[in-house]
Chains A and B, each alone.
Chain A
Amino acid sequence: MTRACLQALWSHWRRNPLQLFTFLAGLALATALWSGVQAINAEARASYDAAATTLGEGRFDQVLPKAGEGFAQEVYVDLRRAGWQVSPVVEGRLRLDDGAVRVIGLDPLTTPGALSPVAGTRDIDLSGFLTVGVLFADVATAARLADLPQEVVVDASVAPDTVLTDVGVAQRLLERPGTLSRLIVAPEQPMGLLPLADVAPGLMRVAAQGSSDVGQLTDSFHLNLTAFGLLSFAVGIFIVHGTIGLVFEQRRGMVRTLRTLGVPLRRLMGLMAAELLALSLVAGMIGVVLGYIVAALLLPDVAATLEGLYGAQVAGGLQLRPVWWLSGLGIAVLGAGLAGAGALWRIARMPILASARPRAWAMVAGRGRQVQGAVAVVLLALAAVIGALDLGLLASFVLLGCLMIGAALALPLIVGAVLALGQARARGVISGWFWADTRQQLPGLSLALMALLLAMAANVGVSTMVSSFRLTFVDFLDQRLFADAYVRGIDRDQMPGVEAYLIAQGYDVLPLLSVDTRLAGVPSELMGARVGPAYARNWSFVDAGPDAWAQVAAGEAVIANEQLVRRAGLWLGDALDIGDGLRLPLVGVYGDYGNPVGQAIVAETLFTSLFPEEAPRQFGVLGAPAEDLRADLGAEFGVPSSSVVDQAAVKAFSLGIFERTFTVTAALNVLTLAVAGFAILMSLLTLSAIRLPQLAPVWAMGLTRGTLARIDLLRALVLAALTAVLALPLGLALAWVLLAVVNVQAFGWRLPMYLFPLDYARLGVLTLAAAGLAALWPAFRMARTPVSQLLGVFANER
């Protein structure tokens, strides 16, 4: 019986291959975008975990210098003598021909268990690690270390762009003899230890954070990606839902017949559910493969984004991790289950003698319209309430969900009302029929239109956010890069001579000194600047006290970027410890977009007194065209022309990084819109198959097939245009939520919102083109429908 039933059920798909394709393609596309995003997230998280495991971040308490980059190794010896179970770490950037890698030196004898890879590598003996020097790195990084004298061992668990070695070897490589960066505190400590402040007053203990800093920093970015993945998945599920609904409606007759012939309902339901499961697994597998391709294409840009925004290192290669391909299959099955549950339920409740006529008209009549409207109103009201209250990051994503789903549910009602208005005002007979028939088609196209609405609103919202961010960023660059040219990358010994020469030439020279350090426990950059009128004229603050620059110039105060003050929980009036026990009041907070680390600025004189060995790393030069400077400095000092950079080039470089940062978002935007276009195509193709009985009488009364095809094309364009018009305010609302709610919750700062009418017009044209393209094939099929097929509608012996 089971085999016969399955054969009967499968015969529907065999006779309707387009429906089978729609189901598989819709679910596969939905799964692809979801699992693609999951693959990227899994890869990034694996990289963070590798880094955290390597460095002990998150798992063990750390002892760090209160200020500065490092501390003397003797302090470590003092702590060990005092009984502290601590292990030394030295870390820094090692410059190679093709960039830099992060070098981390550990002591395998004192490192807490399972932190060092030495223990897990059988063919490396400990004495070799300690004496000759062995470097551990992943495959890509190991290849870059070929010129180093040390043996390089490939270890996939080491974070990307990171080299792990013995602490002594690291000190030699980094040229920091006798200096340590931090200490890892073992979980078990002897009783009666002397307090840390007594043994090492310059150090402070930081508690384990449970997860890595970078993991927390990037959570918001990954949440955004996941939200995009979910949105794409929702768009795909709209396709699947429509197909499953149609398939089950069309099989009502078969179900009735099978039950009449004695197949128990329970068996039939089980077989239909199994059929759904099998198909969703097939679609899921196709989707996972497609997702892998999407992820592999996007991952390099995501890696660049994470490094640009957060300084997080993510491997550029993709691994087949079970967590995401299993989640891909899982979500395919879940999506098909969600889409098919309602249809299965209706079949289960169908009386055995119920009419086998498809309930297409019941669907058309839109019995659930009132319920749908009520749910939409409730969701939109909920969104408004959450928007008005300050409930945290998760709530702001709930707000986004309510807004998008509520608007999607409201769409068919609003479009229906507009179409009714069109019908009421139509003068001609064909236009009257056009509006009436479009209303008739609306329920069948609703899901595709909702998908289009979501895709387009996401496009408007995200592009508004990105473009607003871009404008703000450009403005920020104009403030920060006010010098005409920058001199950098020349020999430190040459710097004083070059500076003196430039001043003698009458140029305004602004040297920039900096050291990497920790300020208030936050990895930061402390800068020394020659504060003058140029700074006061060009820089704008997020918040500042009166005469902020004057106080900084006098060496009496410090200013810091938002990243530092928010992470350290500081604001104006608080004091910041900048080293050697010197605490200065914070008098200004400035925006510093795209900088992953904290930053503070003090006067040049104060900086040089704190760090007398530091020389300026670069100069900003006012009033000097870069071309002239290149010629002058080249002739006088032999400075290569590449060391003199003009302001425009720096801006272009910064903007280049920025643009790459949002490549992923743009790619996901396009993919989502493409999926929505596919949804329209599939809906129109599906409808065209069941629509012949509606069109044949109109054809019989004297409209040609070509005219009907053109009307169908126009219908798709009108519906897409209506959807686009409604997507615009929804997209702007989305942008506002992203900028004014999500951004504030995630990053702590709010961006101004700008409008970009030309971009929206371009997107509208793109949407119409997508809808037009999607409608072209069904319209072409309509124009070429054989007369015999149209006549078949009128045949008596059907």
Chain B
Amino acid sequence: MLLDVRNVTKSFAGADGPVPVLAGVDMALDLGQTLSLQGESGSGKSTLMHIVGALDTADSGEILFDGRDIAALDEAGRAALRRSEVGVIFQQFNLIPSLDVTENIRFQARLAGREDPAGVAHLIEVLGLGPHARKYPEQLSGGQQQRVAIARALAVRPRLILADEPTGNLDEATAAEVLAQMLALVADTGAALMVVTHSPAVAARMDRQLHLRAGRLA
């Protein structure tokens, strides 16, 4: 099992004391599987995604990544895991504004020491980014920026891909197109995909659908 989440809890400080966000979550995800995580705003789905992506830490519980407990890693260890094993696609794209499209796509792969120029060229071509390869993020539309973010996440050849509302900022037609391209590319790599979404349509395209309600899987 690539990802095994056991009884994870997390709470945030509130004005009247700690506010529980995750109250004992268990879930698992293996290579080649896709999973959607749905829930109301504040239900804890983004928090869970951040914890499994080693972006945040849990208060308790175990998060086993390929058998290793992420919770036991220090900051440098978590950074190394993110660098080489996790690709994250954000709703706000979060590209690096000072780098052009190609440099953005290569960036994480180079950080991980896994740069594959042919792979990058393939991603650029498949995602239709060829004419924009030397443009900067501010010069791209939302759909183009999200394609760059997808390419960046895939270029590192991660084993786990996390997507937080990947089509939330796109119009319906563009969203469908981008989602299709993302699923096809993820399927090619054989990575595990976890998508946080409000959209039933997006969730329906995944192998499994999980619902979070008040910090617990429903």
Contact surface of A with B, Cβ cutoff 8 Å: 361, 364-365, 428-430, 432-433, 436-437, 439-440, 693-694, 696-707, 787-788, 790-791, 793-798
Contact = CB atoms under 8 A, between A and B. Distances in A.
A706 B56 CA distance: 16
Contact of B111 (A365, A701, A788, A798): A701
A693 B95 CA distance: 9
B110 interface: yes
Contacts of A694: 96-98
Interface string B77-100: 001111110001011101111110
A428 B110 CA distance: 8
Q: Is the interface of B mostly helix, strand, loop or mixed?
A: mixed
B110 A429 contact: yes
B75 interface: yes
Q: Which of B84, B95, B111 has most chain A Cβ within 10 Å?
A: B111
15 contacts: A428-B110, A429-B110, A429-B111, A433-B98, A436-B96, A436-B98, A436-B99, A436-B103, A440-B97, A696-B94, A701-B108, A704-B76, A788-B12, A791-B55, A794-B90
A433 B107 CA distance: 8
Given A436-B103, A791-B50, A697 B94 contact: yes
A795 B47 CA distance: 9
Nearest to B88: A700
A134 B179 CA distance: 102
Contact of A794 (B57, B99, B164): B164
A436 B107 CA distance: 12
A700 B82 contact: yes
A146 B100 CA distance: 82
Interface in B49-73: 50, 53, 55-57
Given A701-B108, A796-B46, 20 more contacts: A361-B97, A361-B138, A429-B106, A429-B107, A432-B99, A694-B96, A697-B95, A700-B53, A700-B55, A701-B83, A701-B107, A701-B111, A702-B83, A702-B84, A702-B112, A704-B75, A787-B56, A788-B56, A791-B55, A796-B164
B56 to A, nearest CB: 6
Given A361-B138, A433-B107, A439 B98 contact: yes
Interface of B: 12, 41, 46, 50, 53, 55-57, 75-76, 79-84, 88, 90-92, 94-99, 103, 106-108, 110-112, 138, 164-165, 168
A697 B94 CA distance: 6
Nearest to A438: B98
A797 B41 contact: yes
A699 B112 CA distance: 13
Contacts of B90: 697, 794
Which of A702, A788, A795 is most buried by chain B, counting CB atoms within 10 A of its CB? A702
B94 A693 contact: yes
A703 B79 contact: yes
A275 to B, nearest CB: 31
A673 B99 CA distance: 34
A795 B94 contact: no
B96 A437 contact: yes
A430 B113 CA distance: 11
Contacts of B108: 701-702
Contacts of B82: 700-702
Q: Pick the 6 closest A-B CB pairs, nearest first.
A: A702-B83, A429-B110, A440-B98, A697-B94, A436-B98, A701-B108
A559 to B, nearest CB: 68
Nearest to A440: B98
A788 B56 CA distance: 8
A366 to B, nearest CB: 13
A432 B111 CA distance: 11
Contacts of A704: 75-76, 79
A707 B79 CA distance: 11
Nearest to B41: A797
A779 to B, nearest CB: 16
Contacts of A697: 90, 94-96
B96 A702 contact: no
A791 B88 CA distance: 12
Contacts of A433: 96, 98-99, 107
B79 A796 contact: no
B171 to A, nearest CB: 17
Given A429-B110, A433-B99, A791-B50, A796 B165 contact: yes
Contacts of A703: 79, 83, 111
A536 B41 CA distance: 97
A793 B94 CA distance: 9
B214 to A, nearest CB: 17
Nearest to A798: B92
Contacts of A437: 96, 98
Nearest to A432: B103
A572 to B, nearest CB: 67
A791 B196 CA distance: 15
Contacts of A707: 79
Nearest to B45: A796
B99 A796 contact: no
Contacts of A795: 46
Nearest to B153: A701
B3 to A, nearest CB: 18
Contacts of B83: 701-703
Contact of B94 (A361, A432, A702, A794): A794
B113 to A, nearest CB: 9
Contacts of A365: 138
Max count, chain A CB within 10 A of own CB: residue among B53, B55, B84, B168 = B55
Contacts of A364: 97
